Chains A and B, each alone.
Chain A
Amino acid sequence: MSNPPSLAELAITFNHIALASFGGGLSAWSREVLVAEKKWMEDEEFLSAVTMCRILPGANQVNLAVFVGVKFQGIPGACAAVFGLTLIPVIIAIALAYFYFQYHHVPAVQGILKGAAAAAVALTLSMVFKTGKKCLTGLVPVAFFLAIFVMNGVLRWPLLACLSLLAPLAIGWAWPRKARG
């Protein structure tokens, strides 16, 4: 990367990500924009950043905006990215809150949201194919992938328990070795 993105570009990009995520699927949209479209980071860096942002307290997507903002422009970059990510959604949330507590029901919107939510799930699922292609290249990574899916998704174990069990093993497996055998 020759030119790091400017503050305005960071804000606009995260605003774009946020607005695209109508119906959910924000993290899939993040990859779509940050990795595929803007090429600001590689899949590997993106995935490790996503996991770090999940482990740390705070909303994952806000954390990711901070991470990407700091990477390119330090603290001002983090502020710009978070500002872009949240400004319009906050306005929308306040408007929704106003309407909801005023009228209690927005029936037409509920149908739209139902459909949009089904597609947002699809976007998240398709991200599994797109990101999995690169890193699920052997028996060991596939085993890690399946193990954490079952623990966290099917059995609903807390994230922290799953990661404290599997992350040390995975990192040990991936540790660069001097002599490759």
Chain B
Amino acid sequence: MNLRTLTQILLLFSSLSILSIGGGNTVLPEMHRKTVDSYHWLSDKQFADVFALSQAAPGPSILIVTILGYKAAGVTGAILATIAMMLPAAMLVYLVSRVWEKAKDAPFRKAFEKGLAPLTVGLILASGWVMSQAADHDWRAFLLTGVCTVIFATTKTNPLILVAAAGLIGWLGWV
């Protein structure tokens, strides 16, 4: 661990933070290019594994940068990468949300809320669709997803119980 690596971490992830329009996953290709090809912090295969880990681990999926920072510069690197990835974007959200709160009864806010609602639900379906292609590799996994969807949609089951049960099914090797 040295100062040069830490500077690279800080500059790389704070710039990716501002560039990540549409969510953290949009800058993954750039993240891959820099950390694997330019800085040689880890190999191509390791990047793919680290991505899978970060998707499954609890919390925001952007915590892949925590793992990348760790590989580059230990725990200090991990913490620095995480803060660098969140802070610039968070400041922008702060500014926008101030405007939003002030406009409580403005027509544009009403139009935004009503108009964006069906689009957001469509985007949620889209991300479920994309996720299912990454997570469900065969018919048994699709079946598991289907059954769980029906249970979630029609009952008030605590999702944690179902996710744990599905994890158990996976552990037993049934999916």
Instruction: Please report A residues at the B interface, Cβ cutoff 8 Å.
Output: 18-29, 32, 43-45, 47-48, 50-63, 66-67, 70-71, 75, 78, 82, 85-86, 88-90, 92-94, 96-98, 100-101, 108, 111-132, 134-136, 141-142, 144-149, 152-154, 156, 158-160, 163, 166-167, 170-176
- Select the stretch in B2-10, B30-38, B48-56 that faces chain A: B48-56
B63 touches A122 (CB 8 A): no
Complex contact B24–A59 (CB within 8 A): yes
- Residues of B participating in the A interface, judged by any CB pair closer than 8 Å: 17-24, 26, 46, 49-50, 52-63, 66-67, 70-71, 75, 78-79, 82, 85-86, 88-90, 92-94, 96-98, 100-101, 107-108, 110-132, 134-137, 141, 144-149, 151-153, 159-160, 162-175
Give the dominant DSSP class at B's interface. Answer: helix
- What chain A residues lie within 8 Å of B134 (beta carbons)? 117
Interface pair A55/B163, CB less than 8 Å apart: no
Cross-chain contact of B175 among A63, A115, A123, A163 (Cβ < 8 A): A115
Is the pair B113, A48 in contact by a Cβ cutoff of 8 Å? yes
A97→B118 contact, CB < 8 A: no
In the complex the two chains form, is A119's CB within 8 Å of B145's CB?
yes
Instruction: Choose among B54, B78, B107, B144 the residue that contacts A118 (Cβ–Cβ < 8 A).
Output: B144
Query: Nearest-CB distance from B104 to chain A (Å)?
Result: 10
Q: Which chain B residues border A22 with CB–CB below 8 Å?
A: 56-58, 163, 167
Give Cα distance in the complex from A177 to B123, angstroms: 27
